[in-house]
Amino acid sequence: MKSMMVSKVVRNVVRYFFCVIVVLCIAVPLYISVMGGFKELGQLRAAPMSIPDPFNVNQYLDLLSGARGSFWRQLGNSLITGIGTVAVVLFAGTLAGYALARIRFKLNGAIYKFFQLGLLFPLTVAILPLYLQLRTFGLLDRYLGVILPQAAFQLAMMIMLLRGFIKAIPVELAEAAAIDGYGHFNFLFKIVLPLSTPILTTVGVLTLVTSWNNFFTPLLVFNDPIRYTLPMGVMDFMGEHAADWNMILAFLTLAMVPAVILYIVGQKYIVAGLTSGAIKG
């Protein structure tokens, strides 16, 4: 009995040691970024790990006031492309997901398979023709030029999630609605959508996160710095302030804040969406 107690204690010590090491591996870089933004260059060079002394808020103030860099505008650009992508995915994805789940027609299976092709095609394969196409349509340096391709490459996955959910809504509800003489539009808007908030939120949050962190598509489409999103802004800022690491770290820290907030607010939905394939179907 005693040896079991001892082994339990040992096991706990090992477990905490393991977890704390991993926590440190994540926390130390983040700590360095936040604190580095408060340091003067000399101190950052001499002691990157220390607490800032003196606490110098100038870097953050310069960025927030717009004296250096374009944090707010880039945040706005990230928001516009992100919300735009979410809107397109939810609109097109819900309509298609509903039709594929609830309407019987000849090509239903074929169209579903067609969308599933999207899971096979990564953005990288299409990137060069996509660039030329956007140029032909005059969508380079336009928000839509990022929103539409991002939405297009999310659709396959999201239609799958939405169709699966809508299919699982009990049939009795549909029968009751049919008796009430609802058409498909009424049924979708009055019955399916209110019941689908969890999946709509999952799809929305997941799309927003993907768009928020996306670098490849904006890099392709936005040449004009006025359109730069935050990840592009970070690269650009680093190029311009190559030696001022305290400024760069302050910028990084500010650029991380929205993602961290999004994580705290949407954690449940992000995890649910990303792991939906992990459990037995």
Partner 1 sequence: MASRARFPTLVVFLAPALIIFTALVIIPVFEAAIFSFYKWNGLGAMVDFRGLENYLRFFKDAIIHKALLHNFIIAVVSLVLELPLAMALAVTVSDRKFKGAVFFRTFFFLPYMLSEVITGVLWQFIYHPQYGIVRSLFELFLPGVHPPALMGNTSTVLWAILLVVIWKYFGLHMTIYIAGLQDIPQEQIEAATIDGASRWQIFRKVTLPGMRNAVQLSVFFSIIGSFQLFDIVWAMGKGGPANAGETIVTYLYTTGLQRFNIGYGSTIAVCLFLICLVFSFFYERIVARERT
Instruction: Considering only residues 1 through 60, tell me which ones interact with partner 1, judged by CB under 8 A.
Output: 12, 15-16, 18-19, 22-23, 25-30, 32-33, 36, 44-45, 47-49
Instruction: Rule CB under 8 A: say whether 131 interacts with partner 1.
Output: yes
Instruction: Considering only residues 84 through 103, tell me which ones interact with partner 1, judged by CB under 8 A.
Output: 88, 91-93, 95-96, 98-99, 102-103
CA distance 250 to 59: 6
Q: Fill in the amino acid letter for 191.
A: I
CA geometry: angle 278, 280, 281, nearest 5 deg: 105
C-alpha distances (whole Å) from 131 to each of 138, 158, 167 are 11, 24, 36
Q: Fill in the amino acid letter for 76.
A: G
Instruction: Rule CB under 8 A: say whether 152 interacts with partner 1.
Output: yes
Q: Are 148 and 137 in contact (CB under 8 A)?
A: no
Instruction: Rule CB under 8 A: say whether 165 interacts with partner 1.
Output: no
* Nearest residue (CB) to partner 1, 102 versus 227: 102
CA neighbor of 153 nearest in space, from 110, 113, 121: 121
Instruction: Considering only residues 110 through 129, tell me which ones interact with partner 1, judged by CB under 8 A.
Output: 111, 114-115, 117-118, 120-122, 124-129
Q: How far is the CB of 58 from partner 1 (least distance, A)?
A: 18
Q: How far is the CB of 167 from partner 1 (least distance, A)?
A: 9
